[in-house]
Chain A
Amino acid sequence: MPQPRRDPASLESWQDPDARPFLEIRGVTKVFDGATYAVDDVSLKIFRGEFFSLLGASGCGKSTLLRMLAGLERCTQGHILIEDEDITDLPPFERPVNMMFQSYALFPHMTVEQNVAFGLRQEKLSRQEIRTRVGEMLELVRMTGFARRKPDQLSGGQRQRVALARSLAKQPKLLLLDEPLGALDRKLRESTQFELVNIQERVGTTFIMVTHDQEEAMTMSTRLAVMDAGRILQVGTPSEVYEYPANRFVAEFIGAANLFDGRVASADGDRVTIQSEGAPSDIVMHHPQPLAIGTPVTVALRPEKIRLLDEPPPEDVNWIRGTVREIGYLGDVSIYHVGTEGGLTVQVQVTNRGRRTSGPLTWDDVVCLGWDADAGVVLPA
């Protein structure tokens, strides 16, 4: 999937050590019923104009964190600051933050127009101003023709647009999106991803999105945070998180990963040699930080970075032999599950270049798999 084009200058704010964060979350914790840590000591800095994603499986605390930003849940501990102003104790109706709900939460007794105008009516605005702003918002989400409809007369995609228009109508400094595309079917979801990013760039609002769909988070965000059990495991750009996962959980959660557990046998500059029970040969990988000999590590390799070889490489490192167990033909690519002699199952992804009804391999073929020294990462176990 192509990435939406972004202004490269705006990407640098989190790399600049002097930049003032737009939103700062300091040690925020949420405890339910005195014992369940839904969010556990989370700190984050988010910068103006970012499209930030909180990514994690259901129950990881990402929605609770979002609801605390909106003021719908109180923080048990910690502080939330927007432009250095502490908003931790402000009720939701006094925060410069708006939220797009997962269920959209459109008022069923109001028309599309009235739904979008609801937030504006709470401010001291003239009727004329409200009408103009509602018109602009409906145009932004291409819903002008549906102004007089009620929510139950709209399709799921149309409701999603109205919910977006309603949450953007007050021109909030920060927009929170709780699984904004979760209720849409796949085709619509893909086109809406781009539209949402385009709208975000046009209005310039900072977006924070909660999602469990890693593909969605990768496509849309400037940066994302991977969460598990109430904690943030890694924060980074989509490519950083994909190419350099910080730990085993992130490597397995974002995309597919083949993991080899082993120990460091020798280290030479930025090259480490690892011996793993799963692989007959030594594994030689790039790793910038020095590692002590004997350290237990895990090598993570992406399926698309493993190659099919005709014979073992001459230098006798970074290869493995196995038998094809499962074949998944996905059209553009094929995925092979290869059972190794060490008892592991390795996933390999091969692009289908030529046109044929099956891939180059078939079941029970014995293959050699190889990879480069910079094709994966070494994770401390």
Chain B
Amino acid sequence: MTAAREPVLTSGRASLRRRIDHGVKSLAQGRLGRTLVIALPYAWLLLFLLLPILIVLKISFSEMALASPPYTPMLQWVEQRTLSLSLHLGNYAFLWQDPLYMAAYLNSLKIAAVSTVLCLLIGYPMAYAIARAPSGWRIVLLMLVILPFWTSFLIRVYAWIGLLQGNGLINHLLLSLGLIDQPLVLLHSNFAVYLGIVYSYLPFMILPLYATLVRMDLTLLEAAADLGSPPWKSFLTVTLPLSLPGVIAGSLLVFIPAVGEFVIPDLLGGPDSLMIGKVLWTEFFSNRDWPVASAVAIAMLLVILVPLLLFQRVEERETTDPTR
């Protein structure tokens, strides 16, 4: 019996070894290695992006319940036989009907848009100056842009409270210089929110702008000058259009996180600086209404994602269009 089984076992081992050999060989040839390298980011995205979104989407279609977790399940066995699927659209209808949410979305978009424009207006000259600086200076100046990242974002926002509050550093300075008699109300205002967002997100505008500006072929500007274009006009007709990819990338990097910003309006904003991130937090933690909070999150995702995808489609059509 044992003698009869022995060859089977060895052949099983042999086939296993053959498979391992094959695996090692194809890894060496790069086929398996390549698959692994490609699969890894996909697995990451699936696990930490797609799956959480699907969970949030699922919760957004349920109802609040006094349970743990505090919402009704989506799939349920009714009388042990039928599987009932309940999709509750009430949360989205609620978002649409209650003016608070619409106001919060619009206000978030407005604050994000204005902050993006401010970042662009401040960041473009800075990126331009760094890109045109002597090459030895560039790395130093770039380091100065990146340096604030060494301190936690939260601490930097807290630092602004110390600067802006009624008896803070700025008011103290202005009072002692005699420029004002009463402390200015700086903290807990829309001004403080704009200041906080522009301050926090400026590096995300400068870095992509710098990357496009530093790559630009400077003989193009010489050619423009040679053809009779004064420097300011060359900037508008050559430099600016060629840096457009950097402008778009930087604007998206500032606009998208700014729409959903929670920390800055919470710490620096006042009662009227209503932003969707703050609403979401309130729904989730104060009201413990997970379904509505999830609906708010999904709606926010759509508000940002849909225009972005449309924009990308237009972009792609423009770059692949052979008749242009």
Q: Which positions in A face B, CB cutoff 8 Å?
A: 70-72, 91-94, 97-99, 101, 103, 105-109, 118-119, 122-123, 148, 150, 166-167, 170
A118, B242: Cβ atoms closer than 8 Å: no
A92, B222: Cβ atoms closer than 8 Å: yes
B228 CB–A CB distance under 8 Å: yes
B230, A101: Cβ atoms closer than 8 Å: no
Residues A93 and B225 in contact in the complex (CB < 8 Å), given A107-B238, A109-B241, A150-B324: yes
Neighbouring B residues of A105 by C-beta, 8 Å: 217, 219-220, 222-223
Neighbouring B residues of A167 by C-beta, 8 Å: 226-227
Number of interface residues, chain B, beta carbon within 8 A: 18
Give chain B nearest CB distance to A92 CB in angstroms. 4
B226, A92: Cβ atoms closer than 8 Å: yes
Question: Which residue of chain B is the closest to A123 with respect to CB atoms?
Answer: B228
Q: Give me 7 other A-B pairs in contact (C-beta within 8 A), A72-B225, A150-B324 excluded.
A: A71-B225, A71-B226, A105-B219, A105-B222, A118-B227, A123-B228, A167-B227
B222, A118: Cβ atoms closer than 8 Å: no
B226, A72: Cβ atoms closer than 8 Å: yes
A109, B242: Cβ atoms closer than 8 Å: yes
Neighbouring A residues of B238 by C-beta, 8 Å: 107
A-B contact pairs, 11 of them (CB 8 A): A91-B230, A92-B222, A97-B226, A101-B222, A105-B217, A107-B223, A108-B242, A118-B227, A122-B227, A167-B227, A170-B227
Give chain A nearest CB distance to B236 CB in angstroms. 12
A119, B228: Cβ atoms closer than 8 Å: yes
* Chain A at the B interface: SS class: loop
B225, A92: Cβ atoms closer than 8 Å: yes
B217, B227, B324: the one contacting A119 at CB < 8 Å is B227
Neighbouring B residues of A99 by C-beta, 8 Å: 223, 226
Q: Which positions in B face A, CB cutoff 8 Å?
A: 217, 219-220, 222-230, 233, 237-238, 241-242, 324
B228, A170: Cβ atoms closer than 8 Å: yes
Neighbouring A residues of B219 by C-beta, 8 Å: 101, 103, 105
Distance between Cα atoms of A109 and B238 in the complex (Å): 8
B217, A103: Cβ atoms closer than 8 Å: yes
Question: Which residue of chain A is the closest to B222 with respect to CB atoms?
Answer: A72
Give chain A nearest CB distance to B77 CB in angstroms. 62
Neighbouring B residues of A107 by C-beta, 8 Å: 220, 223-224, 238
Distance between Cα atoms of A94 and B223 in the complex (Å): 13
Distance between Cα atoms of A22 and B238 in the complex (Å): 33
Residues A98 and B242 in contact in the complex (CB < 8 Å), given A103-B217, A105-B220: no
Distance between Cα atoms of A150 and B224 in the complex (Å): 17
Give chain B nearest CB distance to A200 CB in angstroms. 19
Neighbouring A residues of B225 by C-beta, 8 Å: 71-72, 91-93
B227, A166: Cβ atoms closer than 8 Å: yes
Neighbouring A residues of B233 by C-beta, 8 Å: 122
Distance between Cα atoms of A102 and B222 in the complex (Å): 12
Neighbouring B residues of A150 by C-beta, 8 Å: 324
B228, A122: Cβ atoms closer than 8 Å: yes
Distance between Cα atoms of A103 and B219 in the complex (Å): 8
Give chain A nearest CB distance to B319 CB in angstroms. 11
Neighbouring A residues of B228 by C-beta, 8 Å: 93-94, 119, 122-123, 170
Neighbouring B residues of A108 by C-beta, 8 Å: 242
Distance between Cα atoms of A167 and B228 in the complex (Å): 11
A118, A148, A170: the one contacting B224 at CB < 8 Å is A118
- Chain A to chain B: the 4 pairs with minimum beta-carbon distance, closest first: A119-B227, A122-B228, A105-B223, A92-B225
B223, B229, B324: the one contacting A101 at CB < 8 Å is B223
Question: Which residue of chain B is the closest to A102 with respect to CB atoms?
Answer: B219
Pick from B228, B237, B238, B242 the residue with the most CB of A within 10 Å. B228
B226, A93: Cβ atoms closer than 8 Å: yes
Question: Which residue of chain B is the closest to A96 with respect to CB atoms?
Answer: B228
Neighbouring A residues of B223 by C-beta, 8 Å: 99, 101, 105-107
Neighbouring B residues of A109 by C-beta, 8 Å: 241-242
Neighbouring B residues of A91 by C-beta, 8 Å: 225, 230
Distance between Cα atoms of A150 and B223 in the complex (Å): 17
Neighbouring A residues of B237 by C-beta, 8 Å: 118
Neighbouring B residues of A166 by C-beta, 8 Å: 227
Question: Which residue of chain B is the closest to A98 with respect to CB atoms?
Answer: B226
Distance between Cα atoms of A103 and B217 in the complex (Å): 10
Give chain A nearest CB distance to B31 CB in angstroms. 34
Distance between Cα atoms of A311 and B261 in the complex (Å): 98
Question: Which residue of chain B is the closest to A94 with respect to CB atoms?
Answer: B228
Distance between Cα atoms of A93 and B220 in the complex (Å): 13
Neighbouring B residues of A103 by C-beta, 8 Å: 217, 219
Question: Which residue of chain A is the closest to B322 with respect to CB atoms?
Answer: A153
Neighbouring B residues of A170 by C-beta, 8 Å: 227-228
Distance between Cα atoms of A148 and B228 in the complex (Å): 23
Question: Which residue of chain B is the closest to A149 with respect to CB atoms?
Answer: B324
Give chain A nearest CB distance to B220 CB in angstroms. 5
Distance between Cα atoms of A94 and B229 in the complex (Å): 9
Question: Which residue of chain B is the closest to A166 with respect to CB atoms?
Answer: B227
